[in-house]
């Protein structure tokens, strides 16, 4: 089934008309921008913004479509996000056509950077979202407090600090079973008193190869586990000392390349100290330090018919920290200021099929130091200004004496070179709350300079040499504007953005001599919009919808900016009576015929046009007890065969094929998938 742009345009017009009508006839006495659902969703099928440019969601709630174990799949339910599929898990998130380090992904304030040169282990591959209490997305360059260069969005997976002013415990546990042998188990438990607390979290997730809508096997099996232990000491009600350690590992088969991942070992340690209510003008001071390491192995020996490539072992050690101060130094002013730093080292070694490894070779060191300040000024009851500035000092050293692949090695022209860059980021946003309607309007402008990441500087070549170490930093200038409306029956949002990107880091895969891609700086621009609308019809029925569209241009070459997902609409309905609910989700994606073949980014490349599709899914849920919920669903109800435009090439599209699997233009999405989940969440005081 193919859907063209005019089909979804009609949906856009009809949905927008409903939103405009609801604003015109809103209750003048209602004034709120908070979510006002009187009945919570038992199964989440979409997300609406909570504040200007910000979406906050609860990762512990069941979702449809069923996410994989990793962080990228959870982001797909937020308008504007897409995921590049590589297999059953470990996809790369894309927001408004931007991927890689243009997205800042933090776990409790900690950066996790993968080890694989070819993004086998994207940062979200090490995140099991359900072990976190909230997921926050800040759209565009509208914050400087969470790291450097996040031009597209900042994504925060966070665990809350528990409140045990009275001794007690909290528990969240879940079990899931699904088609294709999918099974997950998770526990997140905390016990504590006014003196402190202990928190333990653990997860296990596994799946066999899935089948696409035509019943064809996709090389996609995986098994992953994670665990975390936190000890917190609260000597006073305003003082916190916290230590955390985490470990995860697993393996995953891939349908898009000649090797699989057979080791994803991550070990992490962090320390946090916080003091609150220091003075009337100084409300909070926080110190955070972390040290994490990733040890990753990829090979063509363990999860497929053995080949001749052997093994590659890559590691990345990342250390960092930050000090943040929160200072409401006047009634209408609030300042957040701080400093942060991060350094990481990357190394690799390889082995033939015999498993005898060569010596370790460190290939890069990258270090960042930054200072930042964000200021919020409440002009009056209706108006607010937020602004921020950030300065970052970057330093990188190229430690590769030779550059190349298994077929040929060449001397590295940038061996032992060091580069230093001082980069700036700034933003300002005005928000206005109408007096007579529950409507907020906002407009923001941001400018951010992004230092090239490891995958752009080290893992790729340049157009003229075998080293891309000296590729220029990227400079994004963007405007974001929008409206948010919420009353007792309706909630809608509309946001629009436009940006110009100087020295955009573009990856070109068209050269036969540089088949793994070379980077070059171009000038680019993009614009787009997201729209969400939900309405309650009576006490039991609620409908939700969203639209997302992005269009980009390579201004240097006068061609389409690659890897931009097509126009997408989601329409959901949820009927709930007391402790049970039934729902559906219809996802409609337009055909994409605007592309630039074999160009892209560090995540993937344009493979040609893609067909549109419509996917219908259904779900049901029953609250057996207030603390115990059973949910079930069927994704891709009509078993459609389809693939996303931003997918990687199927069955080793690098050339050749994976024995026993059919090679496809793109990695096809799963066919009909039935799932059943049992969730148990409660707390008690002693």
144-190 pLDDT, tens per residue?
A: 999 999 999 999 999 999 999 899 999 999 999 999 999 999 999 99
Residue 652, pLDDT score:
80
pLDDT at residue 4 is higher than 90 = no
How many other C-beta atoms can be found within 10 angstroms of the C-beta atom of residue 400?
20
Residue 657, pLDDT score:
85
Give the chain's mean pLDDT: 92
Q: Decide if 565 contacts 97 (C-beta within 8 A).
A: yes
Q: Decide if 344 contacts 124 (C-beta within 8 A).
A: no
- Mean pLDDT calculated for residue range 628-636: 97
pLDDT tens profile 663-679: 999 999 999 999 999 99
Q: Decide if 364 contacts 455 (C-beta within 8 A).
A: no
How many other C-beta atoms can be found within 10 angstroms of the C-beta atom of residue 647?
26
Residue 174, pLDDT score:
97
Residues 6+ apart with CB under 8 A from 684: 168, 169
pLDDT at residue 556 is higher than 90 = yes
Integer distance in angstroms from the first to the last C-alpha of the chain? 58
- Mean pLDDT calculated for residue range 559-569: 98
Q: Which residue has the tokens 């609801």?
A: 22
pLDDT at residue 392 is higher than 70 = yes
Q: Which residue has the tokens 């930093």?
A: 473
Q: In what order do the strands lie in the sheet with 54-57?
A: 54-57, 134-139, 153-158, 103-107, 110-111
What would the CATH number be for the domain defined by 5-402+414-685?
2.40.170.20
Q: Kindly indicate the confidence band of residue 637, based on its pLDDT and cuts at 50, 70 and 90.
A: very high
DSSP assignment, residue 51? Answer: B
Q: Kindly indicate the confidence band of residue 330, based on its pLDDT and cuts at 50, 70 and 90.
A: confident
How far apart, in Å, are the Cα atoms of 46 and each of 5, 397, 532? 22, 43, 9
pLDDT at residue 134 is higher than 60 = yes
Q: Decide if 334 contacts 375 (C-beta within 8 A).
A: yes
Q: Decide if 94 contacts 603 (C-beta within 8 A).
A: yes
How many other C-beta atoms can be found within 10 angstroms of the C-beta atom of residue 551?
16
Of 590, 587, 589, 595, whose CA–CA distance to 564 is shortest?
A: 595
Percent of the chain whose pLDDT exceeds 90: 86
Q: Decide if 240 contacts 272 (C-beta within 8 A).
A: yes
Residue 35, pLDDT score:
41
Percent of the chain whose pLDDT exceeds 70: 93
pLDDT at residue 131 is higher than 90 = yes
Residue 29, pLDDT score:
32
Specify which residues 462 forms β-bridges with: 519
Residue 512, pLDDT score:
85
pLDDT at residue 130 is higher than 90 = yes
- Mean pLDDT calculated for residue range 224-249: 97
pLDDT at residue 23 is higher than 50 = no
Q: Decide if 685 contacts 167 (C-beta within 8 A).
A: yes
Q: Decide if 56 contacts 50 (C-beta within 8 A).
A: yes
Of 289, 266, 288, whose CA–CA distance to 122 is shortest?
A: 266
Residues 6+ apart with CB under 8 A from 618: 582, 583, 584, 585, 633, 634, 637
- Mean pLDDT calculated for residue range 42-56: 90
User: Burial letters for 19-29: b for 16+ Cβ neighbours within 10 Å, e otherwise?
Assistant: beebbeebeee
Q: How far apart are CA 105 and CA 117, in angstroms?
A: 18
């Amino acid at each position: 089934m193919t859907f063209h742009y005019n089909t979804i345009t009609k949906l856009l017009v009809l949905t927008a008309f409903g939103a405009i009508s609801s604003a015109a006839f809103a209750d003048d006495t209602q004034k709120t921008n908070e979510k006002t659902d009187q009945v919570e969703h038992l199964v989440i099928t979409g997300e609406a913004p909570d504040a200007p440019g910000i979406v906050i969601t609860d990762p512990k709630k069941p979702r449809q479509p069923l996410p994989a174990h990793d962080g990228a799949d959870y982001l797909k339910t937020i308008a504007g996000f897409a995921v590049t599929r590589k297999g059953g898990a470990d996809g790369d998130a894309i927001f408004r056509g931007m991927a890689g380090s243009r997205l800042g992904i933090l776990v409790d304030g900690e950066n996790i950077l993968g080890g694989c040169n070819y993004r086998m282990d994207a940062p979200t591959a090490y995140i099991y979202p359900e072990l976190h209490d909230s997921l926050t997305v800040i759209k565009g360059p509208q914050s400087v407090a969470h790291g450097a260069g996040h031009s597209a969005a900042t994504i925060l997976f966070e665990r809350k600090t528990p409140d045990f002013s009275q001794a007690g415990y909290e528990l969240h546990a879940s079990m899931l079973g699904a088609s294709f042998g999918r099974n997950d188990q998770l526990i997140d438990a905390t016990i504590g008193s006014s003196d402190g607390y202990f928190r333990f979290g653990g997860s296990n997730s596994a799946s066999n190869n899935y089948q696409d809508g035509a019943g064809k096997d996709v090389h996609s099996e995986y098994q992953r586990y994670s665990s975390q232990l936190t000890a917190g000491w609260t000597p006073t009600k305003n003082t916190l000392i916290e230590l955390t350690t985490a470990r995860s590992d697993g393996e995953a088969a891939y349908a898009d390349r000649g090797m699989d991942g057979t080791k994803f070992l991550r070990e992490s340690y962090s320390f946090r100290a916080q003091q609150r209510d220091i003075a009337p003008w100084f409300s909070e001071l926080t110190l955070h330090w972390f040290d994490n390491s990733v040890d990753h192995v990829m090979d063509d020996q363990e999860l497929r018919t053995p080949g001749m490539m052997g093994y590659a072992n890559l590691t990345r050690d990342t250390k960092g920290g930050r000090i943040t101060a929160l200072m409401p130094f006047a009634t209408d002013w609030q300042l957040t200021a701080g400093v942060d730093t991060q350094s990481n080292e990357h190394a690799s070694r390889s082995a033939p099929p015999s498993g005898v490894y060569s010596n370790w070779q460190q290939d890069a060191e990258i270090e960042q130091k930054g200072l930042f300040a964000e200021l919020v000024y409440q002009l009056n009851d209706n108006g607010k200004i937020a602004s921020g500035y950030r300065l970052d000092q970057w330093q990188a050293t190229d430690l590769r004496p030779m550059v190349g692949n298994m077929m040929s090695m060449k001397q590295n022209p940038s061996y032992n070179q060091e580069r230093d860059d001082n980069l700036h980021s700034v933003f300002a946003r005005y928000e206005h709350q109408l007096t007579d309607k529950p409507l907020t309007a906002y407009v923001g402008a941001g400018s951010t300079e992004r230092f090239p990441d490891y995958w752009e500087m080290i893992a790729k070549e340049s157009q003229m040499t075998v080293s891309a170490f000296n590729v220029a930093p990227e400079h994004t200038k963007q405007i974001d504007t929008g409206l948010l409306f919420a009353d007792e029956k309706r909630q809608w949002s509309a946001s629009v953005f436009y940006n110009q990107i100087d020295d955009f880091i573009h990856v070109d895969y068209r050269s036969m001599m540089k088949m793994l891609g070379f980077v070059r700086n171009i000038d680019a621009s993009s614009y787009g919009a997201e729209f969400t609308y939900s309405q309650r019809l009576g006490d039991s029925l609620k409908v939700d919808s969203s639209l997302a569209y992005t269009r980009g241009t390579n201004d240097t070459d006068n061609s389409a900016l690659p890897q931009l997902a097509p126009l997408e609409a989601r329409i959901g309905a949820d009927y709930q009576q007391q402790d049970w609910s039934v729902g559906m989700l219809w996802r409609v994606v337009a055909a994409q015929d605007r592309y630039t073949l074999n160009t892209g980014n560090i995540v993937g490349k344009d493979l040609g046009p893609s067909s549109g599709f419509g996917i219908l899914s259904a779900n049901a849920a029953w609250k057996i007890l207030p603390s115990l919920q059973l949910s079930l669903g069927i994704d891709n109800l009509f078993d459609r065969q389809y693939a996303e435009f931003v997918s990687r090439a199927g069955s080793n599209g690098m050339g050749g094929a994976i024995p026993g699997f059919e090679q496809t233009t793109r990695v096809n999405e799963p066919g009909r998938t039935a799932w059943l989940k049992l969730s148990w969440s409660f707390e008690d005081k002693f």
